[in-house]
């Protein structure tokens, strides 16, 4: 195939076969004229397709880059967090909900509305709490049960999510209100 010389203003992409301005082609040091044979759009599509097919290679390349350029990556991340605090806070919240409980912020908000903004156990409203309602889930199955205030969430955790222990606790509280239980 005959190459265009560097004075040409257009080139035909070898992938999409369209005639495009030379500015729409990337640089390539190994080519005789220093310009890639595929246009930037086709080049990007090829890279995206390759990494979708081989995600482990993309992850390895990203990890190598992050390790080699740790200071640069950290500075960029810090700058982004500082310039976009609301986005960063929402991103972290969404990431936490998704990775920890398998739900989205929308799922959380729907549960919140269904519960009327209240703890599923004691009924205290979110507006009376210092912390947001916690996502309660079964530690064995991972199934989300509802939203709880900090106190109820801790109490269930201390009772090891065990219904029998909770029943014993209820029985114990019932006995402690009756002064005659000690006489038995």
The pLDDT-based confidence of 178 (bands split at 50, 70, 90) is low
| 39 and 15 Cβ atoms separated by less than 8 Å | yes
Collapsing DSSP to helix, strand or coil, 19 comes out as strand
Please report the pLDDT score of residue 33 as a whole number. Answer: 86
| 96 and 123 Cβ atoms separated by less than 8 Å | no
User: In whole angstroms, what is the distance from residue 118 CA to residue 128 CA?
Assistant: 10
How many other CB atoms sit within 10 Å of the CB of residue 7? 7
99, 119, 97, 118: which is closest to 108 by C-alpha? 97
The average pLDDT across 167-179 equals 81
The pLDDT-based confidence of 121 (bands split at 50, 70, 90) is very high
| 141 and 134 Cβ atoms separated by less than 8 Å | no
Determine which of 5-9, 14-18, 126-130 has the lowest per-residue pLDDT on average.
5-9
How many CA atoms within 13 Å lie on the side-chain side of 79?
Answer: 6
Nearest 10 degrees: CA dihedral of 45, 51, 54, 59?
Answer: 180
> Residues of the chain with pLDDT > 90: what percent?
78
Q: Where are the alpha helices (DSSP H) in 21-162?
A: 40-53, 55-68, 70-83, 85-101, 105-114, 150-158
For residue 70, pLDDT beyond 50 = yes
Please report the pLDDT score of residue 177 as a whole number. Answer: 66
Q: Write down the pTM of the prediction.
A: 0.59
Please report the pLDDT score of residue 179 as a whole number. Answer: 57
The average pLDDT across 90-117 equals 96
How many other CB atoms sit within 10 Å of the CB of residue 102? 13
For residue 7, pLDDT beyond 80 = no
Domain architecture of the chain: domains with CATH: 56-102 (no CATH), 118-177 (3.40.1800.10)
Please report the pLDDT score of residue 25 as a whole number. Answer: 93
What are the tens digits of pLDDT across the range 149-166?
A: 999 999 999 999 899 999
Please report the pLDDT score of residue 9 as a whole number. Answer: 87
The pLDDT-based confidence of 1 (bands split at 50, 70, 90) is very low
For residue 63, pLDDT beyond 90 = yes
Please report the pLDDT score of residue 4 as a whole number. Answer: 46
Spatial neighbors of 113 by CB under 8 A, at least 6 apart, are: none
Nearest 10 degrees: CA dihedral of 29, 33, 35, 39?
Answer: -150
What are the tens digits of pLDDT across the range 32-62?
A: 888 999 999 999 999 999 999 999 999 999 9
């Amino acid at each position: 195939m005959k190459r265009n010389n560097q004075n040409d203003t257009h080139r035909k992409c070898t992938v999409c076969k369209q005639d495009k301005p030379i500015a729409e082609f990337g640089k390539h040091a190994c080519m005789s004229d220093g310009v890639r044979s595929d246009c930037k759009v086709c080049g990007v599509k090829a890279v995206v397709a390759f990494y979708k097919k081989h995600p482990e290679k993309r992850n390895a390349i990203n990890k190598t880059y992050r390790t080699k350029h740790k200071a640069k990556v950290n500075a960029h991340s810090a700058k982004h967090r500082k310039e976009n605090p609301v986005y960063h806070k929402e991103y972290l919240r969404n990431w936490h909900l998704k990775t920890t409980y398998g739900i989205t912020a929308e799922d959380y908000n729907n549960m919140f509305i269904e519960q009327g903004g209240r703890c599923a156990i004691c009924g205290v409203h979110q507006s009376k709490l210092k912390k947001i309602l916690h996502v309660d889930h079964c530690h064995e199955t991972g199934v989300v049960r509802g939203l709880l205030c900090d106190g109820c969430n801790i109490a269930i955790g201390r009772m090891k999510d065990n219904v029998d222990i909770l029943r014993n606790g209820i029985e114990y509280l019932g006995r402690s209100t009756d002064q005659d239980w000690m006489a038995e």
